[in-house]
A and B are shown apart, each in its own frame.
Chain A
Amino acid sequence: MTNFLGEEDVAIEATLNGKPLKRRVKARRHLADFLRQDMELTGTHLGCEHGICGACTVMIDGRTARGCLTLAAQISGKSVETIEGLSESGKLSQLQSEFIARNAAQCGFCSSGMLLTAYELVASGRNMSRAEIREFISGNMCRCTGYHAIVDAVEAVIAKNAKTSAGGKA
């Protein structure tokens, strides 16, 4: 019988989509596989498994991270949010509405990662130009759309938020 590196279990304690999580995981299992296979959260997609395409983007402690380049064991003590959690909590609803209205997705395979990256951008509260938006999302490959509608959607959310916060101050 051959023994493979990383077969041993590791205990993790973390927060997943707002709920406490206590599990044992294989040391070699990456976070995206853990979410998809162990937790049945298949909204996190795998496009390349080497950190380029961005399809597996999740939030760890409020910042985007590559699910394929993070070991599940590394999330101990951290808070992980996925497309499922952020959709259910309504945090993505503004972005989702603008994406849908503009057809800023076709096959949908990049969309989970793209939305989470866009969420990080919007949550930063910065007012970004189209070029800056393009730069910010340039770690997420979309092979179907021309990116144009995605930039439009993100721009629209930024503009709406700016209006709301300006209105709030006034």
Chain B
Amino acid sequence: MSVNEASSTSIGARIPRRELKRLLSGQGRYIDDIELPRMLHACVVRSPHPHAKLVSVDIAAARCAPGVAAVFTAADINPRCEPFVGVALHRPGHRSAPQRLLVAERAVWQGQPVAVVVAESRAEAEDAAELVAIEWEPLPAVADQLQAIAPDAPIIHAELDDNVAFDFSLEKGEPAEAFADADIIIEEELRFERQMAVTLETRGLIADFNPGDGFLTVIHAHQSPFQMQEVFSRHLKIPEHKIRVTAPDVGGGFGMKLNVYSDEIATVIASMLLGRPVKFCVDRLESFVSDSQARDHRIKCRISLKKTGEITAMEMDDISAVGAYGMPLRFNVAEGMMAITLAGAPYRFENYQARTRSVYVNKNLIGMYRGVGMPLACVATELLTDLAAEKVGIDTVEFKRRNYWPKASLPCLTPGGQKLESVSFHECLEKLVRLMDYDALRKEQAQLRVRGTYRGIGIATFCEQTAYGPPYYGPSGASISTQDGCTLRLEPSGSVRCITSLTDQGQGTLTSVAQIVADSVGLSIEQVSVTGGDSAISPYGGGAWASRGTAIGGEAALRAGMMLKQNILALASAITQTPADALTIAGGEVINTRTGQAVISLADVGRIGYFRQDTLPADFDLQLSVSASFVANDKMYYMANGVQASYVEVDCETGFIKMLGQWAVDDCGRVINPLLVDEQVRGGIVQGIGAVLFEECIYSDDANLLNGTMADYLVPMASEMPDIVLDHVETPEASTRLGAKGIGEGGLIGAMGSVWVAVNDALKPLGAKIRHQPFTPERILDALVRKT
């Protein structure tokens, strides 16, 4: 049975999220809202230096401060945790020094944890933290990736003898020949500054180790409870079955709350040492120096064409500053690898060469953040092809029409190694062109240019790898599960309880799961409750990351729903003496499909199934709780795609950029709930616009963070953002029954591409170009003066 054959009423409907009434009445329960008996509060003392020798730590005064229960340093904490080595085994040559939780001898980034103060209240812990006296001997620090690979650069980890973490090249076809024979070559150098997720709720957890039974419970504002269960078990030597990690309401994740943080693990150890619950929630100032960061790339890229406009080759040379260590479990190669393997993906050409290097610097670690390297690929590709179209002398839309992989060529493998199966570039583009009234905008743009108003139009096509399968992470050696699972239980009253391995940080995934369960069993959505984010109660699963929740966890829910339906029907058949194949479930009742009449209610089925088994045949196999897990054993990912457009105006006097409009057409396969998908796309778009226009972790040359407050790190607010018009193309994923792909990152990926192209389009008549993100007013004015 496919979903289409089910009595489909929920899937595809614009159903509001069921958590929202609670969340919008101040009844959410986020990590810092939770209090446990005898709970203590931790505050972390951090290195003020990006690179310094730790001479001494004096905790005597802090230990005596009011309310203080304990002050822990490296000597207390580090021996209790196996060091982290964030190396991807499937990437030959990738390396990292082992990372210990607290600084013992040398700090290698500003913000690295040195000591943990535990007190009766957070305020007292903060007060005492100020009394921890540390003597430092500052060492030369390096912030920039190019400086870090210079011959005289300070070496961050002596055991690695230089600062290169990873150096990878790929070549397909004959790129050198193609560039030599090209009629047109466009070559650019792009720079993407470092940025952050800035979840509105900062990181936090409550660790509760019970010495009586050796059981560890962690309430964790995290995207993957199962991942953390495994991490705590492996590194703290606690048996996995004695660990329970639950996620409360989480105030945004965006990948940042997927990473493994040394201060969080140290909090768990503090709880183990004290035998009491310990809460640790970073404040905003700490989050700037301790949350994983993202981007920080320099990319040289070029494209070659025949004068007819046919692309012949592309090249990417990426180098990124990845911080001081490899990120545990998630490494520091993904952004670069995605940038070079997805570059050019929507366009047909045969010759490609690329290199990516990850370089250690004295900055905080690069970790997962929405889009990972995919937006970098999108920006490089769409900027180059837009410039190429202009050089060839054809409109950028027409250029795309001619150069996208034709539908007839699918499935295909791109030169970067991307498998394209059910992508829909042409359909998305045509829908977008109509949605934005492209020709009218071009006309308006031309008219305004004559009057000295500089507007730009940018169109960006993207591929989004979503819902990775085991071939992607399995060989890396990291214990990252790409499966998800679902348990369904018919309650005696005829409703259904669903326990999923997924987590929800606001995406609305749990509502989508309820829709899928309702449809697959034959219930209304009100008859289904969904619980997620608990490593002790659901089948094993990955949680929320890589735009996977609905695609993978939804498929598991669908399969569990079909199993439960079969079991209910078998029971109803035994009770009513009607053949099971003549029965179905609709609206909470078992229906005879031949007569159309209800034969028994689910409440009666439940009542008999749980309390009157004596009325059933002796050998009747009664299973009213079922579990299903799903993973696509052979799939790297489900490839989603889309096209976006930006319309911007550049004020040449002030350098300010105004977003006038944004349009997006995505294809995330079957849309389970368009209401949720739409705002997910819009949210991603706003983060993409923020990345291009505002967001930057500004570091001095010697690696001191210069803008560690929200007054200085700019994020998009409502007044700078445009209305965002959306449409969808639905090409179901063929390998699953549900047919959903992911949608979490496409908004950001496409928006970064379209804003880059649009701003540069606006600058074209002025002979200026901007290649350094974010496009601050200062950089725009510099670009206008420079006019390269």
Which one of B26, B29, B505 contacts A84 once the chains associate, using CB atoms below 8 Å? Answer: B26
Q: A108-B24, A109-B251, A141-B715 are in contact. Are A103 and B17 (CB under 8 A)?
A: yes
Hey, which chain B residues are within 8 Å of A87, CB to CB? 24-26
Question: Which of B19, B26, B721 interacts with A42 by CB under 8 Å?
Answer: B26
Given contacts A43-B25, A145-B679, contact A150 B718 (CB under 8 A): yes
Of residues 94 to 130 in A, which have CB atoms within 8 Å of B's CB atoms? 96, 99-112, 115, 130
Contacts of A143 in B (CB 8 A): 197-200, 252, 254, 683, 687, 715
> Which residues of the partner chain A approach B252 to less than 8 Å between Cβ atoms?
106-107, 109, 143-144
Say which residue of A2, A47, A111, A147 sits within 8 Å of B284 (CB atoms): A47
Asked whether, in the complex, the Cβ of B200 is within 8 Å of the Cβ of A110, the reply is yes
Please tell me if the beta carbons of B200 and A141 are within 8 angstroms of each other in the complex: yes
**Are A145 and B26 CB-contacts (below 8 A) given A4-B127, A130-B723?**
no
CB-CB under 8 A from B687, the residues of chain A are 143
Chain A residues lying within 8 Å of B598, measured Cβ to Cβ, are none
Q: Is the CB of A100 within 8 A of B719?
A: no
At the interface, yes or no: A65 with Cβ under 8 Å from chain B?
no
A73 within 8 A of B: no
Q: In the complex, A8 Cα to B61 Cα: how many Å?
A: 22
Interface residues of B in 12-53 (CB under 8 A from A): 16-17, 19-21, 23-30, 32-33
Which residue of chain A is the closest to B250 with respect to CB atoms? A107
- Verify if B131 is at the interface (C-beta below 8 Å from A): yes
Partner of B683, one of A55, A83, A131, A145: A145
A41 at interface (Cβ–Cβ under 8 A)?
A: yes
Which residues of the other chain, A, contact B28 by a CB distance below 8 angstroms?
43, 108-109
With A2-B61, A52-B709, A149-B679 as given contacts, are A100 and B24 in contact (CB-CB < 8 Å)?
A: yes
Rounded to whole Å, the gap between the CB of A76 and the closest CB of chain B is 21
CA distance A2 to B61 in the complex (A): 9
Docked complex Cα distance between A123 and B61 (Å): 52
Asked if B676 is an interface residue, CB under 8 A from chain A, the answer is yes
In the bound complex, residues from chain B placing their C-beta under 8 Å from that of A141 are: 200, 710, 715, 717
Are B26 and A112 closer than 8 Å at their CB atoms? yes
Contact with A along B603-637 (1 / 0, CB 8 A): 00000000000000000000000000000000000
State which of B17, B197, B505, B685 has its C-beta within 8 Å of the C-beta of A146. Answer: B685
A44 within 8 A of B: yes
Q: Within the complex, what minimum Cβ distance (angstroms) separates B88 from chain A?
A: 29
Per the bound structure, the CA–CA distance linking A109 and B21 in Å amounts to: 13
B682 interface contact, C-beta 8 A: yes
A108 near B724: Cβ-Cβ < 8 Å: no
Residues of chain B with a CB closer than 8 A to A99's CB: 20, 24
A151 at the interface (CB under 8 A from B): yes
Interface size on A, residues (CB 8 A): 59
For residue B131, give the distance in angstroms from its CB to the closest CB of chain A: 7
A103 to B683, CA, bound (A): 11
In the complex, the answer to whether B30 meets A148 with C-beta atoms within 8 Å is: no
Most buried by A among B64, B66, B506, B679: B679
Tell me if A1 counts as interface (CB < 8 A to partner B): yes
In the complex, which range does the number of interface residues on chain B fall in?
35 or more
Q: Which of A22-37 contact B (CB under 8 A)?
A: 33, 36
In the complex, whether B575 has a CB less than 8 A from a CB of chain A is no
- Which of B19, B683, B717, B723 has a CB less than 8 Å from the CB of A108? B19
- A2 CA to B19 CA, complexed, in Å: 45
Complex interface residues of chain B between 328 and 359 (CB less than 8 A to chain A): none
A-chain residues with CB within 8 Å of residue B97 when the two chains form the complex = none
Q: Tell me if A160 is interfacial: C-beta within 8 Å of chain B.
A: no
Interface bits B706-732 vs A (CB < 8 Å: 1, else 0):
000111000111111101100000000
A105 to B507, CA, bound (A): 9
Q: Among the listed B201, B683, B686, which residue makes an inter-chain contact with A45, where contact means beta carbons less than 8 Å apart?
A: B201
Does residue A79 face the partner (Cβ distance < 8 Å to B)? no
Contact A147 B721 (CB under 8 A): yes
Contact of B721 with A100 in the complex, beta carbons under 8 Å = no
In the assembly, what is the distance between CA of A139 and CA of B711, in Å? 12
Q: Which residues of B contact A144 (CB under 8 A)?
A: 200, 252, 506, 679, 683
Residues on B with beta carbons closer than 8 Å to the beta carbon of A19: none
Q: Report the nearest B residue to A42, measured CB to CB.
A: B33
Q: Is there a chain B Cβ closer than 8 Å to A13's Cβ?
A: no
Does A157 reach chain B (CB closer than 8 Å)? Answer: no
CA distance in complex: A137, B687 (Å): 18
Q: Is B283 among interface residues, defined by CB-CB distance under 8 A?
A: yes
Contact with A along B138-173 (1 / 0, CB 8 A): 000000000000000000000000000000000000
Q: List residues of chain B with CB within 8 A of the CB of A111.
A: 23-24
Neighbouring B residues of A78 by C-beta, 8 Å: none
Q: Name the one of A44, A103, A115, A135 contacting B16, with C-beta atoms under 8 angstroms.
A: A103
Q: Report chain A residues within 8 Å CB of B600.
A: none
Contact A107-B251, Cβ < 8 Å, known A49-B284, A134-B719, A149-B682: yes
- CB neighbours (8 Å) of B264 from chain A are none
Determine if B201 and A109 form an interchain contact, defined as CB atoms under 8 angstroms apart: yes
Whole-angstrom CA separation of A107 from B285 in the bound complex:
21
Q: Is the CB of A151 within 8 A of B251?
A: no
A151 to B197, CA, bound (A): 23
**CB of B781 within 8 A of chain A?**
no
Residues on A with C-beta less than 8 A from B202 are: 47
Let me know if A64 is at the binding interface, CB within 8 A.
no
Contact among B20, B26, B680, B710 with A82 in the assembled complex (CB-CB below 8 Å): B26
Decide if B6 is an interface residue (CB 8 Å cutoff). no
Q: Are B506 and A44 in contact (CB under 8 A)?
A: no
The closest CB in chain A to the CB of B126 belongs to: A4
> In the bound complex, what is the Cα–Cα distance between A127 and B199 (angstroms)?
32
Q: How far is the CA of A54 from the CA of B153 in the complex (A)?
A: 43
Measured between beta carbons, the chain A residues less than 8 angstroms from B197 are: 143
Is there a chain B Cβ closer than 8 Å to A142's Cβ?
Answer: yes
Are B718 and A151 neighbours in the complex by a CB distance under 8 Å? Answer: yes
Q: Given contacts A46-B32, A143-B252, A146-B721, are A105 and B20 in contact (CB under 8 A)?
A: yes
Cross-interface CB contact of A50 among B19, B131, B284, B681, cutoff 8 Å = B284
Establish whether residues A137 and B710, one from each chain, have CB atoms under 8 Å apart when the complex forms: no
Between-chain CB contacts (< 8 Å), 24 pairs? A2-B61, A2-B66, A41-B26, A42-B26, A44-B26, A48-B284, A49-B283, A50-B709, A50-B711, A87-B25, A100-B20, A100-B21, A101-B16, A106-B679, A108-B251, A109-B199, A137-B718, A138-B717, A138-B719, A141-B710, A143-B715, A146-B721, A151-B718, A151-B723
Closest 4 CB pairs of A and B: A43-B26, A146-B682, A108-B23, A106-B506
Binding site for A on B (CB under 8 A): 16-17, 19-21, 23-30, 32-33, 61, 64-66, 123, 127, 131, 197-202, 249-252, 254, 283-285, 505-508, 675-676, 678-687, 709-711, 715-721, 723-724, 747
